Amino acid sequence: MSTQRIARLVVALLAGTALAGCGGGTSHTASSGDDGAPSATLPALQTKLRAITVDECATRSAAEIYPTCARFVREVQNVVPAARAEAGAVPSAAALTAAADTVDAAVNRFARDQCVAVGGPSGAADVCGPDLAAVQQGLGALVAAVGR
């Protein structure tokens, strides 16, 4: 892993942790119902998604980079529940749900096709490249649905 990639990852994790900590304390307010205001955790989710999109596994050719992207795919997978939880705070809940479903399906294909194997060879580029490309595209749709 390159020093630049490690540095970006550390910055992204610190930013996400800081914002998640700030948002967590304000999201549990007493309310008589949904007032239509954006969730306090939406900005933290947007920050996390922006951080993930600069990862080299999101920006480089999927067919070339996929063997090193297990962590990236897990990060994308792990952000989906938070995105689904924010469906009421975005302009189109349907677009967010569709994007989350796309990400889930792409992550499942990536895992099913054994695109990253621990201690052994990973899947073939002609299968795993398109699988990672689908994760990349799903992430893009998720970012668009959540907004910046």
Distance CA 41, CA 118 (A): 34
Per-residue confidence (pLDDT) for residue 33, from 0 to 100: 38
In order along its 148 residues, the chain shows pLDDT tens digits of 444 444 444 334 433 433 333 333 333 233 333 444 445 588 888 999 999 999 999 999 999 999 999 999 999 999 999 899 988 888 888 998 999 999 999 999 999 999 977 766 678 889 999 999 999 999 999 999 988 7
Question: Structural domain boundaries of the chain?
Answer: 3-26+39-146
Per-residue confidence (pLDDT) for residue 120, from 0 to 100: 64
Specify the residue for token string 């007493």: 30
Q: Which runs of consecutive H residues, i.e. helices, occur in 27-124?
A: 42-53, 56-59, 62-65, 70-85, 93-112
